[in-house]
Structure 1
């Protein structure tokens, strides 16, 4: 009986590990598609990875150094990306921690943002994603923004 139980635990662990790796790859692809859409100015590509009622927020400091939180509607962001503009919006991230619990995932990703080839700002993106029948969708993004002390 002990052997059967140990075998079942081992099989479950292997299956869970494979599922976690597949979900991690799908989550990264979803986020990379977001940034591909930004670089291409493709609002359709952006919308393909956003859940309905997705929320965008940013944490920054005002002139006195006080933290401020701003909220932007996803449709405004999508419109800005899809409206023709001269400079490429190039956000370069490094995937940090990815946590998954069932149909919810959280991703921590330091980034540097460039307008064309010119550095603009850096910070950290935090993504919340929901696993849907169509795949992983971004339900929430909050980021920090600063011009210095950027992670290399």
Structure 2
């Protein structure tokens, strides 16, 4: 009988330790938002500031019923953001989930992407962030892309 209260105490202590302070969650969200603010502004320096050294980008596409994983070069992406383009790259996200453990965060965001005011595609982003000396940085982005059935 004495074991039951002790096990309950241990379980409640574990749950308390797993909680993330709101400030950390907001800092993670701010890093992701900085990435997209830089995209909208065409500011490659701002986009780069949100990325960890050695960041990796992937996208999932389905063509002819087959899912394909494509690696994208983050340096090429950052360069493209800073190169003049006719329309604003406007990726509209919402934060579905933010999970944090120590110096690792995972963020899940549905999105709709617009070129200027014209809808282009939608899907979900999955971000993996790490907390380095300079704060939270994006280490990996993987997304899905489609034209319909958004959210």
TM-score, with length taken from structure 2: 0.87
Alignment length (residue pairs): 140
Deviation string for 1:85-128 (max 9, x for gaps)? 01000000010111111000000100000000000000000000
1:56 aligns with 2:57: yes
Tell me the residue number matched to 2:139: 139
Tell me the residue number matched to 1:21: 22
* Moved >3 Å (runs of 4+): none
Distance (Å, rounded) in 2 between the aligned partners of 1:100 and 1:26: 11
Tell me the residue number matched to 1:3: none
TM-score, with length taken from structure 1: 0.87
Which segments of 5 or more consecutive residues in structure 1 lack a partner in the other structure?
1-5
Distance (Å, rounded) in 2 between the aligned partners of 1:71 and 1:41: 22
Tell me the residue number matched to 1:107: 107
Deviation at 1:16, TM superposition (A): 7.4
Deviation string for 1:43-84 (max 9, x for gaps)? 00011110011000000111x110011111110000110100
Cα pair 2:18 2:101 within 8 Å, conserved: no
For the aligned residues, what is the CA RMSD? Answer: 1.8
